[in-house]
Structure 1
């Protein structure tokens, strides 16, 4: 059964809907994804059949394509949040999982490009975890 997913950027200027199913869900540790997320990895959903509909703010969406690679990133011009990208050359919709406001029914399939991961990633399991921001010492 096809699903509908809704999402938005952080400032809510851009809103979108994805209709259809996701084929895969990857956590990508490549250098490009680390740099464009500012984090350890990108968490992206992929689909060759789902359709993307911009509900609001399409004029605020820009796409950056890294020369000589297949890497691209769409984002809100106002707040910088990652947004879905449709790559016509690959016929592939890429949706940053954190941009969705609705739950997805699949879990990540794999962690990819682990050979490019940041050296501190392997140390994450041994650090404390908190449900909220911890008290900072002064």
Structure 2
């Protein structure tokens, strides 16, 4: 369990997950620098239906790719629930998170609670602990 690894409150939960990970790694960065550097500040967060789901339906890959411009790298396992190999990819994602956490690297994931981003803080024999919207301190 990494007690200092926590999601940071942002309306854009992906940014909050990244900020929590950067804080954990002691990488000093202002909120404005992060949001601008990963391109989030320049995205119109609307979908084709102009619904409240807009910020959750667009491809955020560019945010992860642009992190190198700010001195950090994001890598991971990516899958949609509709993927034919989803269960295999989901298992691989949790194994990857476990290895990263064991090595002292922060992790975050999508839709661990509701359709938002969460920081994965640790794990035990029962499951994983995460921090984000709708969680108390940690939630299994």
| Pairwise TM-score range, normalised by the shorter structure | under 0.3
Higher RCO (C-alpha under 8 Å, 6+ residues apart): 1
Name the larger-Rg structure: 1
**TM-score calculated relative to the size of structure 2:** 0.28
Structure holding more helix per residue? 2
**TM-score calculated relative to the size of structure 1:** 0.28
